[in-house]
Amino acid sequence: MIEIKSPSTQFTFLVGQILGHLVQEGDLILVSGDLGSGKTVFAQGVAKGMGIIERVSSPTFTLMHIYQGPIVLLHADLYRLEYSQEVIDLGIMETLDEGAVGLIEWGDVASEVFPPDFLAVDIFIEEDETRRIEFRSVGTNWTKREQSLKISLDDLEKEPKQ
């Protein structure tokens, strides 16, 4: 597991951007955290790191957005869904099979629907309002990139905080 503390929204964005530089076609990222923890800000950073220039917004009410870039980003929010079949009906897995990266907010609530190979990102709100972001590779897809992620995040922590 990799862990980093984020003192600000901008820092959370930069953490996402670092991850966005490392994604590959077909990757699945399941992001969890309380309301207001910064999941969408993190997703915006991932999109920026992937080279997506379109404005990324929360898919809470639309459930899913697709953004075009060098690699397609499927950004979904499962908060409002109650049943596994609703997740399946969104067609997330088919879009990943076509080479998109899937970043799924509240993905942990439907993890049984997804293949057992993904990056879990958990964002916790600490007592001092900072964020603790944890990365956990599930399966083998991300294990080869964990070291690159850790090095990049360590470098970010050494930079002056904004």
Q: DSSP for 46-63?
A: HHHHTT--SPP---TTTS
Rounded Cα gap, residues 17 and 48, in angstroms: 6
Note whether residue 161 is domain-resident: no
Note whether residue 19 is domain-resident: yes
Tell me which residue of 59, 90, 69 sits closest to 25, measured CA to CA: 69
Residue 92 vs residue 18, higher pLDDT: 18
Largest CA distance in the chain: 46
pLDDT interval class at 59 (50, 70, 90)? low
Which stretch of 24-28, 108-112, 130-134 has the lowest confidence by average pLDDT?
A: 108-112
Query: What does the block give as tokens for 55?
Result: 């404005």
Note whether residue 162 is domain-resident: no
Residues 6+ apart with CB under 8 A from 74: 64, 65, 66, 92, 95, 96, 100, 101, 102, 103
* CATH number (domain holding residue 38): 3.40.50.300
- C-alpha dihedral over 50, 46, 49, 150, to 10 degrees? -120
- Is 137's pLDDT higher than 90? yes
Range of the domain at 143: 2-155
Amino acid at 115: P
Give the pLDDT mean for 11-19: 96
Q: Count of domains in the chain?
A: 1
pLDDT interval class at 1 (50, 70, 90)? very high
What does the pLDDT read at residue 95? 81
Note whether residue 52 is domain-resident: yes
Q: Is 141 helix (H, G, I), strand (E, B) or coil?
A: coil
pLDDT by residue (tens digit) across 63-107? Answer: 778 999 999 999 988 876 666 667 667 777 788 888 899 999 888
